[in-house]
Amino acid sequence: MANHPSAEKRNRQRIVRARRNRSALSALRTAVKQARQAIAAGGAEAARERVGQASRALAKAAQKGAIRPQTAARTTSRIQKALHKLGSAQ
């Protein structure tokens, strides 16, 4: 338990940030999952839409510090690569 006013404030800030990050990460995971499912389903136009949404969500999460920038870049790259394979296969 925090014993100083500044430590109590840091604890309150930690709780707020954790709640915000948890919400952002949940939405991010959902967006990436939907993009991967759309790619697996094979609909190029729907997949392109979902990949765009997932890429925006990844960039936003990285910008806000919820995830590391390299993690966002790597995940974006992987789903873009999968989308490109889908487009060239048809």
Q: What pLDDT does residue 87 have?
A: 75
Q: Please determine, for residue 66, whether its predicted confidence score (pLDDT) is greater than 80.
A: yes
Task: Please write the tens of the pLDDT for every residue from 14-56.
Answer: 999 999 899 889 999 999 999 999 999 988 899 999 999 999 9
Residue located via tokens 């790619």: 39
Read off the CATH number of the domain in which 22 is found.
Answer: 1.20.58.110
Neighbours of 58 (CB within 10 A): 24
pLDDT at 73 over 70: yes
Q: Can you give the pLDDT at residue 90?
A: 61
HEC string of the chain? CCCCHHHHHHHHHHHHHHHHHHHHHHHHHHHHHHHHHHHHHCCHHHHHHHHHHHHHHHHHHHHHCCCCHHHHHHHHHHHHHHHHHHHHHC
* Residue written as token pair 């997949």: 47
Number of structural domains found in the chain: 1
Residues in the chain: 90
* pTM for the full predicted model: 0.81
Structural domain boundaries, residue 12: 5-89
